[in-house]
Structure 1
Amino acid sequence: MMSGWVVLISLLYAAMLFAVAWVGDRTSIYRKTPWLRTVLYSLALAVYCTSWTFYGAVGTAARYGLGYLPIYLGPLLLMLLMLLGWRMLQRLAVVARAQSTVSIADFIGSRFGRSQRLAAWVSLIALVAAVPYLALQYKAVAISLEILTGTATSAHAIHDPALYVAAIMALFAILFGTRQVDATEHRPGLMLAVAFESVIKLLALVAVGLFAMHWLGQQGVNWVQASATLIQQAPPVGFAGQTVLAFVAMVCLPRQFHVAIVECVDVADIPRSRWWFGGYLVVVSAMVLPIAAAGLALFGLQGQFVPDSFVLALPLSQNQQWLALLAYIGGFSAATGMVIVVSVALSNMVSNDLVMPLLLRRTALRHDAPGHSMGSRIDSLGNMASTVLWVRRVAIVLLALLAYSYSRNMESSTELAALGLMSFVAVAQFAPALLAGLYWRGVSRKGVEAGLLAGFAIWAYTLLLPELAAAGIIGGDWVQRGLFGQAWLHPHALLGLQGMDRLSHGTFWSLLVNVMTVLLVSIVRPPGLSEQLQADAFLNPSAQRHATPHAPPLPSHLRVGDLEALAGRIIGERTARKAFVAQAQSEQQPFRPDARANGSWMHFTELLLAGAVGAASARLVLTRALQGSGMELSAVMEVLDKAGPELRFNREILLATLENMDQAVSVVDADMRLVAWNPRYQQLFQYPAGMLYVGRAVEELIRYNLESGHISPHMAPTGTDTDANPANANPPQPADVQQEVTKRIAFMKAGSAYVYERSLPDGQVIQLRGHPLPGGGYVTSYSDITAFRRAEQELRDINETLEQRVAERTAEAELAHESRTRFLTAISHDVLQPVHAARLFASALCESQHPAEMQHLAARVDAALRSAEELLDGILDISRLNTGVLKPQISTFDIAPLLAQLHQQYTPMAEKRGLVIRLHNHSVGVRSDPTLLRRVLQNFLANALRYTRRGRIVLAARPRGNQLLLQVWDTGSGIPPDHLRQIYDEFHRYEQDFDWDGRGLGLGLSICQRIALLLEHPLVAHSRVGHGSVFAISVPIAALACATTPDSPELPVAMPTAPSSGPSVLQGLRVLCLDNDPDILAGMQALLPRWGVELLCASTVDGALQSMARQPTVVLTDYHLHDRLSGLQALQLLRQQHPHIATALLTADGSDSLREEAQAQGCKVLTKPLKPASLRAFLTSVATAQTRIMPP
């Protein structure tokens, strides 16, 4: 192919790029089609795919198989991960916008106290890293031209096409990247051109990839198998390291930071773009393998063409010249897109962080005398806007020349991928500073600066200098022998570390030294005050800021116009006036240049200047100028540092208020275009996604609401809609809609306030309030007053039926009073009865002379007191259920163990009565409170035993759909129908003759009913006189995947007790009883020795300490000792003498907190009134355990 045609097509393509950028700058693409913004942003991110990706990835795949994949895998991981992926990108974008940072150097410098020196170091490192990368692009263009034209590159630079490519790209970057001073302003033309180039290089690579698949098929080779053969090779040693590098480079490369952060219009584009950009990378990486496979099959590794040129050589060898030309244009796009963006990004860094600070300081030195006023200091700046632009343009030209010179001198055998990865390692030195700045408050500027320089020095020593030595630019003897002839200083085997490739070796040492230096220096030299003031905005970009104390007042003669004049010297007078007017409008105030300046205006001016000359230089300009207004330097710094947080606080309060308001809010400007709204507004009117955006004509929204029925077409400005129910109205006619739109727009432009209500189709009642804004515009709030109107209607209904309700409530109160009276009467009777009987039996016991009669009377006393105790327990349970103190602990468990335990518990009692209890059990999972459910079934069984003379009792579990019916059947006498309706009343009993002690209290079923209501389990009761009864409770069935066996303690229950004979194991057990009540100690002395227990008594803690000398096995203590210590504290003191002693706490306090505290100390809790059987069971368990551990 003739070289003239190639050059012509290259020029035509460059002209097309100019045209695309020109159209993008003059057409509001984002505003007209907002959805396109995300697509263009995603395609612009593909500037990551340079000529290295286009040519070098194929060469890497041909040489190393999977070795090409890390450059795609790293960005994919970044976009898919959340915390250190796209979430981090969003955070970077939010902070960068708030701080008006225009480059990665500006971002890092601003984070650490607006450090000018740190930003300069970052810029220098980025510049050094970018030169080999730019040279790579020029080399790729030169190689592609050489292959396409078949002519070798001329030894003279004047005849080298790469020189003219560098010149064209520099011109493009100057025209479309340096047109405005404010680098924070978005460049839609530049972004559109970069996105267009991304489409071209993707189409070109896909076309060559499809041709490679077709060619392999013609050769009888399956392209899938051929690709699989390539990736069968083991990944190279540096696979993981290169993946990490690509991951980091996606953020740290200056061009990626510029596109992803600086040019990000809306941070919401970042999560959406990850799928577009991720898909782009997947397609590109998929095309690499068939091209590499076809190239190897056709040329081999050592053939006529090097693997890096397979993309061009493949179509050329098959006489597909147009396809080869398309591949050339794709590679040309990959190179030029990267060159343009890097040139713009680096020119900003050079001007803002290297050149402009020197110029500003030189100007400041000439006008720093005390006699110079603020006006003279501003005048001394001259036309700084023009200076800034020319500095950037010169920087772009010099950068192009420097990179081109490097490409001419680099070693011809250097692989494209090696150059790219080397630059990746250099910019990876920014990662510790970025990550620490975003997530670690303790990192300091000195630590970051030291780590950055140390890591860069290791990078230069291990990677850059050996590359320059290989190119013959510097001497290379030291590379072979090590510095000073020391083997441990060998650049590719530092400290004797071998077994790694050169890139992995350099990456490991440079990042290790960088991170360790940052950590150590930050600990030794912590951050200063200015760094701490800046840190919060980076660490918590979306958090609310507390208002700071007021800064020192500004001089009374300092005006807003002075700040505008200062900004105009830097960014241009017209741009400054436009920005200041917009800022005043955002605060809903007219712009008054003669108004007194405050801290908010100073902060705004600083951010405005930061977009042009960087954060550090902006601070320098302001401090020097304001010193001329009479303010001391320290006061200027204090105002600037405190104005920013206060301004952020006010804005964040406003945004947070809008976001969290229950009312919907919309704001339009004087041109009747939407400028603000909150999420509730979009939800209320059910606007489709993307319909709301800044600048949308409000008449389009009104028309949508009218046509969708959200607004009645007949609205009264004050009052309510004439059509109260739009859902039932006829659809609005087009003429009515247009008339209504016109009327409402005119109404809003007139600036009239209004209030009215309307009903939405879903029944909501909305109140609208409209208010004009100062200077034009309109704000409307929409309040949901449905609940208010409903309450109003209910109040009206209540008033109408008030007399009826009063009568009903009076009847209910009288009924409750009558029920309470009966309840108290029954309690008085039933409590006094057993107490009275006990006193009679006790009196007879005192007068009796016969042992047999004494034993009989004592048993009757015990029975009477037990009856009173059970009655009080039942009343306590009813009180706990009625007051809501008892809370159910719902869980899923198997019902079978619970029923088996109940069957085992009640079988001995039934056998004593000559009855049989049968169990019909099922292993079924249920959802309930096992303790309360057990209590219900215990009451059922107790009643069945009480009222059954002969026959059997059946305990059964029967599934009924999704419920399990737990039944207790008996063959008792049955309950008459008139009594069956009253069985759940307190103290209601069905009277019948008993020849055993079976009389109940009348509380069991009342407790069951309350428990069932608490658990929401229905109760069922059926009875037939002469045949028996059945009581049941229905429990929901649940899956047993997480089933547990109920092990909760049983609640006390009124049921017949069986006497038990105590084992002789208590004989000789030594027990210490501590209680301040002499009667309790006397009772213990009367009871425990009868069981064979050796009892020690103490009424004080000191007495108990003395008794510990006799080494008791068990200690029983009351909780309330009325001594200096409580019972639990006394037990802790006693355990210091005998750590392994068994303890029990006797208390009438049944609170869960006391029980948990006692159990935490390994102490048994026995509640009062104490049941002798419970005490004996505890002592028996202790004695049994002691017997087991005693040696035979």
Structure 2
Amino acid sequence: PPLIHGVMWSLLLNIATYVTLSFAMKQSSIERLQADLFVPQRTAPISPNFRRWRTTVTVGDLLNTVSQYLGPERARISFETFAVTQRVNLERTASADFQLLRHAEHLIASAIGVASARMVMSLLLRRRSVSGKAALKLLDDAHAALHYNQEILQTALNHVRQGIAVLNREAQLICFNRQFAEILDLPPQMTQVGVTLDEILDYLKTKVQHQAGDDTGFVARRRLAYTTEGVPHLERFPDRSLVVEIRAVRMPDGTVITFSDITQSVEAAEALERANATLENRVRERTEQLTRLNSELGRAKGVAEQANISKTRFLAAASHDLLQPLNAARLYITSLVERQIGGEEARIVNNIDHSLENIEELLGALLDISRLDAGALKPSISSFRASDILRSLEVEFAPVARDKGLELTFIQSSMPIETDRTLLLRLIQNLISNAIKYTPHGRVLVGCRRRGASLQICVYDRGIGVLPAQRSEIFKEFHRLDQGARVARGLGLGLSIVQRIARVLDHGLSVG
């Protein structure tokens, strides 16, 4: 069929072209290296193609080759350890057997990779029997492998955050990464293989922070600091506000130096150190300031208290002195009222009597407040029954309630109490007086309740009431609520006196 005929001719042409081009094209070094990774060669020591008999390679040749990649000390120790475990002869003139060759290949592979190690061993084994063309091919392959590994290593180093520089025994630069030049801000001529560490330090002398006039011996001191293993060195670059930490690690044939940018960490540590250094001063300053303010506050409080005491004493003296002529005036007015005068004169006399009564009530309240604030009233504690004062209060307020059309009820209690009888009586008098004054109609109830070992005296009324938000305002001096002012006259001092008496007696007071 035509289809099968076309497929056959296409396959034959493709195969012929593949074979022809394979023989005609020259294989490059990198292609041979990549092919060796998948197709084992005859020179590969991993495969059992090494002959079991002795080779022309001596132990000395093998040790020198391994030393070039691992260093003499590490190569010697590794060979001696292998000889002890495998019982191999390590005389330098003796021929290397298969086991030693294989061990050497593994050592070289740990340094430069399997493919490169394979090329090195192949060149070593065939150096006396290989032709010139084959030797050049092996050298070309080894060079390509080493170049490939070097590119991989350089790419890996360039992706490390730290700057890395490798120096040989003479402190010459043999390997570095991009961050090394960037961190130290080195020009191109300073980042060349073969540049010495002293040349780099001489260039950095004008860029790093050091004492003025201390140029003598700068390079020697920095060289020692940069290459001392285990002791990190901090270098500051003031023009760039940069802090670099430098660490060194010794190698058999040189030194590896790392450069790390630790500016942020150093700034944070310095800020913390400054905060700790100034913390004690700030605490001392704030303490002195607080002490000074407390002293000023104490003095101001003392002045205010003294002024309040002086005011209270003045009010007490003034009230007492004013009450005497007012009492005399009240006597004259009372005598006029008793003469039964009529007409306009009787109305004027009654008005004067009411005015004097109000003045006397005001001055009496001021006198009580001043005595309570000044601490002149000291409670005289005695034991008596609650019913004793409740009966006297009932006798006092029953006619007042009856005249207003109110029902006044007392619930007696025979429970004994300990307090100041006079002050407690004055306290309850003010409460009952307010209840009768601000209750237009209905009932006023005065009773007692036990609360454990205490007694609660309650005054209930059906008056205008007090809103919860206004309960703290009713105890202020000369302050009256609008609804109360519309119902009855008053000075706004009764509950202030009640609160002060309760405070002196250390009794609780609440509005429900």
- Please say which structure displays the higher CA radius of gyration: 2
More strand by share: 2
Normalising to structure 1: TM-score of the pair? Answer: 0.16
What TM-score comes out, normalization by structure 2 length?
Answer: 0.36
Larger relative contact order (CA 8 Å, sep ≥ 6): 1
